[in-house]
Structure 1
């Protein structure tokens, strides 16, 4: 194996890092601003992110984006029902805006530029964390840029939705885990980056809280290049403990939400639990396309509820309007839904197959990309970098027949790399993608494409890191 002078090697790594960061940032900024800024329009949930940034907003789903949200001085202060880490980025963008003279205003341009900087830094961390030849690392960088800049994902970075923070957090967590396995101060930097990425990803949405135990296990499995023995485990405990403490503190910082039945929610997202279970039952199970009476009987619901088959929570004629609804509200429980899916494997596979198609579709058609002054029709979308989402869209009709082979491919690659940090990262991404897929598929019957975006982004990151140039037979160039 060729020996290199440490100082020369550090210089080469620094040049590589600066080059990747500068190139990625320049491409992201151009992709974001030219010929005009793009984002994802508010689907109606953006009020939580804005509220966390100190801006009260009660807007309904909108076909256009707002390039700026200005706080109303006369509006009463709001408190979000649960925290989304995109609010932290939005709040930071508000603070940066004040330095530019934009008082009490959230500029999506500032938010998009801030997210572009973080995304470029995360891509750089991943590239520097791979101890392989420069050509292989640059190939991975190109693949990462294609995924991050794809039209299905990039617009979330400048949006008041939670997915953008999840994407950034996952990128940082992957880069941090890879850096942790390197020698010297790289290992300590990797732990810090992992913690920062984990906090962003875990707290991005209630749905992403399930990432916490998976990331914690990955932290314990990665072998720090610098530390050995008790120091290694102490460092892992410190990172996982800090991640858990920050998450617990953040999620408890919001006021208790009022659930639909008028009670106070005890956990984040409990105010929407009944809504989610209602939609899962009346859109996934009692959908009017199967044996409705048998499904109602299995769920413990009255036969008269057949008239509400296929009617979600926000439908003009939902079951909540029925006089019998208060008596049967208790049947709209997570346990009831899980029991049904566990005892009806055929229906479960059908729902999962539809969810796989939603995931590979990649992009919902109701989230617009432009502000109203741009002159485009409502819900118009940009397609500046459509490569990855176009490819997944081609195989989307295959559903599970397309998605399961992708999972198996990543799992096999993770197994062959099991003794390396790359293997741990691939296993982490695989586990996150599968759990996010199942949670979104079975836990809520609406916005399937949007709710599958985190699972899709995660598995695409794994595919990039499955590059043939990264294999256990190749000798690393970084000790």
Structure 2
């Protein structure tokens, strides 16, 4: 009785945003920081980003895909491992290593220090998102909306990434921040200058977090022009314009900094696991790219296959295979072969609603779980989404048209009334959809079907964020209203 009354009083004093942040924090603490600890197994990608760390377990490679490893060594004198790709993730990792050394050990890194740092950042993002979504709503309705956010974004399918070295952790956190700052700007909550600066900063960190996210800056910057007109004063417009140009530059720079090694890996899969895999006549298809038909033997092979018919790193393959095609030529090929493009898009849609890849386990080997076993703790949303979401690209198109159709009337009304702040909601939604679609197209054109579920993480996250915004606007009857 006393406990119930205490909870009622506490909730009456607590905002829906604070409630959502606290609940997500508690759920994630239970999942990641209490036995059995939850994380994500290495699929071989960790080597790309490890900087200052090394593998201590002599049997580490046998745990690839199957088991989560939480401790690594910290180089004390000479760092022979440097990140092979440029990524903003590196800065977060260095911060986590520093915290680890301050409060734990100088020579051993416990990945839970990184998970804790990510969790604190994520809780802040959840708070701001719910604050933006429930601003000016009744507390009762606000709590209901907060519960929806908790169910979706508190899912362990998302937060398990914190206990890993995958870039998806940074993608998740920065995407939620970016959406939050955009909505707070739209709803005129807090300071416009601060919200705009943080919005673009979040977009920059997101863009440079993974090489495949380079299109984020290239999409967000042009559409972000709408944000310039929120205020009439010259200072605001000048700052916003400069920041948008910088964001575009980050997108271009991220693309230019992709190492040649990874360019070839992705190009190999784009052809062997994409163009050739779906072709009726692979030899004839190669002629479209002026590639010798003998390379059709590479169809459906992978760059990392233990036994290959040709050395994938050889000069001959560089001259006669890799140099013959690129992103534009593959895109052109798919445009000229819509049936094959449709097959690849449906293949992408099949994996585009899986928050966590099936391939990676969540438990340490010492727990005794089967190889590759995944947790079901607070995974209701990720399991439901994977089970019921239609697995066709036609559904994705229908979803896009529905979302845009719902927000178009208020956009037109805002433009006609010259309410420029009200008009930025649709461009923000359009920006997010464009970013989500880039996750699909870049994955297909850039790497075929190789590791699609993980490569499409950005799409599945954007799908959830846009759907959350729409559902909450619909329930709160703000789809067609002029809020400001």
Q: TM-score range by the shorter chain?
A: 0.7 to 0.9
1:159 Cα deviation (Å)?
Answer: 1.1
What does residue 336 of structure 1 align with?
A: 329
Aligned partners of 1:193, 1:474: CA distance in 2, in Å?
A: 26
What does residue 469 of structure 1 align with?
A: 475
Closer, same or farther: CA 334–20 of 1 in aligned 2, 3 Å: closer
What does residue 5 of structure 2 align with?
A: none
Tell me, what secondary structure is at the counterpart of 1:106?
strand
Tell me, what secondary structure is at the counterpart of 1:383?
coil
Tell me, what secondary structure is at the counterpart of 1:222?
helix
> Are the aligned partners of 1:203 and 1:209 in contact in 2 as well (CA < 8 Å)?
yes
What does residue 30 of structure 2 align with?
A: 30
What does residue 146 of structure 2 align with?
A: 141
For these two proteins, the number of residue pairs brought into alignment is 449
Tell me, what secondary structure is at the counterpart of 1:360?
coil
What does residue 271 of structure 2 align with?
A: 281
- 2:53 corresponds to which of 52, 55, 73: 55
1:94 Cα deviation (Å)?
Answer: 1.3
> Pairwise mapping of residues 142-221 of structure 1 onto structure 2 (< 5 A)?
142-183=147-188, 185-221=190-226
> Pairwise mapping of residues 413-432 of structure 1 onto structure 2 (< 5 A)?
413-418=406-411, 419=414, 420=422, 421-432=424-435
> Are the aligned partners of 2:157 and 2:356 in contact in 1 as well (CA < 8 Å)?
yes
1:375 Cα deviation (Å)?
Answer: 1.6
- 1:233 corresponds to which of 210, 214, 237: 237
Closer, same or farther: CA 194–45 of 1 in aligned 2, 3 Å: same
> Pairwise mapping of residues 238-317 of structure 1 onto structure 2 (< 5 A)?
238-241=242-245, 243=247, 267-287=257-277, 290-315=280-305, 316-317=307-308
What does residue 7 of structure 2 align with?
A: none
Tell me, what secondary structure is at the counterpart of 1:385?
coil
What does residue 112 of structure 2 align with?
A: 109
Per mean C-alpha deviation after superposition, the further-off stretch among 312-321 and 291-300 is: 312-321
What does residue 394 of structure 2 align with?
A: 401
1:246 Cα deviation (Å)?
Answer: 7.0
Note the residue ranges of structure 1 that are not aligned, 5 or more in a row.
Answer: 1-11, 252-264
1:325 matched to 2:317? The reply is yes
1:395 Cα deviation (Å)?
Answer: 4.1
Tell me, what secondary structure is at the counterpart of 2:109?
strand
1:438 matched to 2:441? The reply is yes
What does residue 365 of structure 1 align with?
A: 358
> Pairwise mapping of residues 10-21 of structure 1 onto structure 2 (< 5 A)?
15-21=15-21
Aligned partners of 1:246, 1:212: CA distance in 2, in Å?
A: 6
**Per-residue deviation, residues 232-275 of structure 1 (Å, max 9, x unmatched):** 312312443564677789x6xxxxxxxxxxxxx96324331122
What does residue 391 of structure 1 align with?
A: 384
1:442 Cα deviation (Å)?
Answer: 1.9
> Are the aligned partners of 1:218 and 1:428 in contact in 2 as well (CA < 8 Å)?
yes
1:375 matched to 2:368? The reply is yes
Aligned partners of 2:342, 2:392: CA distance in 1, in Å?
A: 10
Closer, same or farther: CA 384–132 of 1 in aligned 2, 3 Å: same
> Are the aligned partners of 2:346 and 2:392 in contact in 1 as well (CA < 8 Å)?
yes
What does residue 39 of structure 1 align with?
A: 39
Per mean C-alpha deviation after superposition, the further-off stretch among 136-145 and 109-118 is: 136-145
1:356 matched to 2:349? The reply is yes
Closer, same or farther: CA 137–213 of 1 in aligned 2, 3 Å: farther
> Are the aligned partners of 1:41 and 1:63 in contact in 2 as well (CA < 8 Å)?
yes
> Are the aligned partners of 2:410 and 2:481 in contact in 1 as well (CA < 8 Å)?
no
Closer, same or farther: CA 362–441 of 1 in aligned 2, 3 Å: farther
Aligned partners of 2:257, 2:185: CA distance in 1, in Å?
A: 33
> Are the aligned partners of 2:203 and 2:217 in contact in 1 as well (CA < 8 Å)?
yes
> Are the aligned partners of 1:93 and 1:110 in contact in 2 as well (CA < 8 Å)?
yes
Closer, same or farther: CA 475–273 of 1 in aligned 2, 3 Å: closer
What does residue 6 of structure 1 align with?
A: none
**Per-residue deviation, residues 205-236 of structure 1 (Å, max 9, x unmatched):** 011121113332454323787x4332331231
1:400 Cα deviation (Å)?
Answer: 1.4
Aligned partners of 1:318, 1:76: CA distance in 2, in Å?
A: 35
Closer, same or farther: CA 358–194 of 1 in aligned 2, 3 Å: same
> Are the aligned partners of 1:358 and 1:396 in contact in 2 as well (CA < 8 Å)?
no
What does residue 418 of structure 2 align with?
A: none
Q: TM-score, normalised by structure 2?
A: 0.83
Aligned partners of 2:210, 2:291: CA distance in 1, in Å?
A: 31
> Are the aligned partners of 1:216 and 1:240 in contact in 2 as well (CA < 8 Å)?
yes
